[in-house]
Amino acid sequence: MPPYRFSFGPWNLSDGPDPFGPAVRGSFTFVEKVKLAKEMGFDALQFHDDDAVPDLDARSSAEIVRQARATKQILTDHGLVAEFVAPRLWFSPQTIDGAFTSNDAADRSYALERSIKAIDIGHELGTNILVLWLARDGTYVREAKSVPCAMRYLVGAIDQMLEYDKNLRILVEPKPNEPTDQAYIPTVGHAVALSYQTSDPTRMGILIETAHQILAGLDPSDEMGFALSFNKLWSVHLNDQSGLKFDEDKSFGEVDLRRAFNQVRVLEENNYGNNGEYVGLDVKALRTQRKEVSAKHLANSRETFLWLLDKVRTLNRRLYAELVKQRDYEELTRYITAHLLGVQY
Ligand code: XLS
Ligand code: MG
């Protein structure tokens, strides 16, 4: 059994702005973030394209390659690798109405070109994984777009990426809302269905984020099990979420420990990681943290995963199977509660 390997993105270490107020602490430089990742026991970093190449839209292809190589060198110098690159398709004026599903053909071309740049950056960073979080591909007003038409645009763009790089693997990260009112690929089921519409479903996988499943009213561990049953769970963004509100990206397990336990259980029971998949954390530091303690959420989330892994591995599997056989689920839930609390059972 290979040990689990962990990753996060540079955006998970921030100076604390939110939509209602500015930064509240100093920022870490990229090199400081890489050092922190290594110190905290992480193995890889995840990248938005412009985390690796700042000011991407303003740069020539030669500059993009040069900057991406410099970023890769920093990773190598610190013993880390890149897990994936994700094009930032939600920031520029050209993505206001969506990226691949914008009603404007010029904007759709921008989204594809930007994604191709992200693929090129991935080459330089040594990863063939592209993550698509389809942030603005959806609507605020239902009548604004045609869904079948939007799906044709989306599949067409994905096919062009798959054609551009024959080794590329694309992971769709579904999320039901925010920033849009309704997203077009809101759930894991939609992402699986989308993958089968593309020219090469074998190169299409899913990244499941805990909070996004909760926002969709679904159970994260069941969604992981569903994707695993199609061999499509190729990355995760573990975090936590308190109910149906904005995407909180809380530390893993800090809202609902039992829900976190079940995510670790499903990953462990289905050999997640055996094909090189990482345990990614997409967690946000509380705005109230001072800078010197503003990386704890990452170390804590990783440690909680390992604590829960121990709980999964020390389950009394004979008792578990017997209770399922007896269909005594009341006793099963009691046993799990006792086990999580460390109560002698
Ligand atoms: C936002 C997403 C984002 C992606 C990476 O809700 O979780 O952080 O994971 O682009
Ligand atoms: Mg995420």
pLDDT > 90? residue 345: no
Measured from CB, residues less than 6 Å from any atom of ligand 1 are 48, 86, 133, 173, 175, 209, 237, 247, 282
Averaged pLDDT of the chain: 98
The domain locations on the chain are: 6-314
Identify the architecture of domain 6-314 in CATH.
Alpha-Beta Barrel (3.20)
Q: Give 47-86 pLDDT, tens digit per residue.
A: 999 999 999 999 999 999 999 999 999 999 999 999 999 9
CA distance 94 to 109: 9
Q: Report which protein residue has its CA nearest ligand 1's atom 3.
A: 133
Q: Report which protein residue has its CA nearest ligand 1's atom 10.
A: 133
- Determine which one of 49, 51, 137, 247 is catalytic: 51
- Determine which one of 15, 18, 43, 48 is catalytic: 48
Q: Which residues touch 111 (CB under 8 Å, ≥6 apart)?
A: 87, 89, 94, 95, 99, 100, 102, 157
Q: Give 9-52 pLDDT, tens digit per residue.
A: 999 999 999 999 999 999 999 999 999 999 999 999 999 999 99
Predicted local confidence at residue 107, as pLDDT? 98
Q: How far is CA 259 from CA 5, 214, 245, in A?
A: 21, 10, 18
Closest ligand 1 atom, residue 209 Cα: 7
Q: Give 220-241 pLDDT, tens digit per residue.
A: 999 999 999 999 999 999 999 9
Ligand 2 centroid to 316 CA: how many Å?
33
Ligand 1 centroid to 87 CA: how many Å?
11
What ligand has the least distance to the C-alpha of 178?
1
